[in-house]
Structure 1
Amino acid sequence: MAVPLSLLDLAFVGKGQTPRDGLAGSVALAQEAERCGYERVWYAEHHNMKAIASSATSVVIAHVAAHTERIRLGSGGIMLPNHSPLTIAEQFGTLETLHPGRIDLGLGRAPGTDQVTMRALRRDHTSADSFPRDVQELQGYLGDESRVPGVEAVPGQGTKVPIYILGSSLFGATLAAALGLPYGFASHFAPAALEEAVAVYRRDFRPSDQLAEPHVIAGINVFCADSEAEAAAQRQVVARSRLSLFFGRGRTFTDDEADAILASPQGRQLQEMMRYTAVGTPAQVKEQLEAFTEHARADELMVVHQAPTLDARLHSVRLLAEVWGLAGVGAGAGA
Structure 2
Amino acid sequence: MRNSPAPRQVVSTVKLSILDLAPVAPNSTISDSFKSSVRLAQLAERTGYERVWYAEHHNMPTIASSATSLLISHVAHHTESIRLGSGGVMLPNHSPLVIAEQFGTLAEIFGDRIDLGMGRAPGTDMTTLRALRRDPSASDSFPQDVLELQAYLAGESRIPGVQAIPGAGTNVPLYILGSSLFGAQLAAQLGLPYSFASHFAPAALHQAVKTYREQFKPSAQLAEPYVIAGVGVIAAESVQHAHDLKVASERHRVASFLGRNAKKEFTEAELDMVMETPQAEQILDMMRYTAIGTGQNVAEYLEAFAESAQADELITVHHPLLEEDRLNSVNLTAQACRLVTAG
> Shorter-normalised TM-score: what interval?
over 0.9
1:84-114 per-residue CA deviation (whole Å, 9 max, x = no partner) reads 0000000000000000010000000000001
Contact 1:220 1:302 in 2 (8 A): yes
1:253 aligns with 2:260: no
Contact 1:165 1:181 in 2 (8 A): yes
1:153 aligns with 2:164: yes
Deviation at 1:64? 0.3
1:272-321 per-residue CA deviation (whole Å, 9 max, x = no partner) reads 11101110001111111111111111000000011110011111111000
1:42 aligns with 2:53: yes
Match among 111, 114, 136 for residue 100 of structure 1? 111
Q: Point out where structure 2 has 5 or more consecutive residues left out of the alignment.
A: 1-11
1:279 aligns with 2:274: no
1:7-54 per-residue CA deviation (whole Å, 9 max, x = no partner) reads 000001111211111111100100000000100000000000111111
Q: Point out where structure 1 has 5 or more consecutive residues left out of the alignment.
A: none
Map 1:233-272 to 2 at 5 A.
233-248=244-259, 249-272=262-285
User: Match of 2:242?
Assistant: 231
1:190-234 per-residue CA deviation (whole Å, 9 max, x = no partner) reads 001001100000000000000000000000010000000111011
Match among 16, 19, 31 for residue 27 of structure 2? 16
Contact 1:140 1:146 in 2 (8 A): yes
User: Match of 1:216?
Assistant: 227
Match among 313, 317, 335 for residue 304 of structure 1? 317
1:130 aligns with 2:141: yes
Counterpart residue identity of residue 162, structure 1: P
Deviation at 1:256? 4.7
Counterpart residue identity of residue 207, structure 1: P
CA distance in 2, matches of 1:243, 1:215: 33
User: Match of 2:70?
Assistant: 59
User: Match of 1:82?
Assistant: 93
Q: Which moved more, 1:240-249 or 1:61-70?
A: 240-249
Contact 1:262 1:270 in 2 (8 A): no
Map 1:176-187 to 2 at 5 A.
176-187=187-198
CA distance in 1, matches of 2:340, 2:325: 22
1:292 aligns with 2:305: yes
Contact 1:240 1:255 in 2 (8 A): no
CA distance in 2, matches of 1:263, 1:24: 35
Q: Which moved more, 1:144-153 or 1:46-55?
A: 144-153
Match among 203, 206, 227 for residue 214 of structure 2? 203
Counterpart residue identity of residue 221, structure 2: Q
CA distance in 1, matches of 2:269, 2:246: 16
Deviation at 1:125? 0.7
1:153-206 per-residue CA deviation (whole Å, 9 max, x = no partner) reads 011011000000000000000000000000000000000100110000000000
1:118-160 per-residue CA deviation (whole Å, 9 max, x = no partner) reads 0000000110000000000000000031111111101101100
Contact 2:155 2:164 in 1 (8 A): no
Deviation at 1:251? 2.9
Contact 1:244 1:250 in 2 (8 A): no
Q: Which moved more, 1:246-255 or 1:286-295?
A: 246-255
User: Match of 2:129?
Assistant: 118
Aligned length: 330
Contact 2:20 2:53 in 1 (8 A): yes
CA distance in 2, matches of 1:16, 1:260: 24
TM-score (norm: length of structure 1): 0.96
Deviation at 1:69? 0.3
Contact 2:46 2:340 in 1 (8 A): no
CA distance in 2, matches of 1:61, 1:95: 8
SS where residue 126 of structure 1 aligns? helix
CA distance in 1, matches of 2:268, 2:288: 21
Contact 1:45 1:57 in 2 (8 A): yes
Counterpart residue identity of residue 267, structure 1: A
Deviation at 1:266? 2.1
SS where residue 131 of structure 1 aligns? helix
User: Match of 1:315?
Assistant: 328
Question: RMSD between aligned alpha carbons?
Answer: 1.1
SS where residue 139 of structure 1 aligns? helix
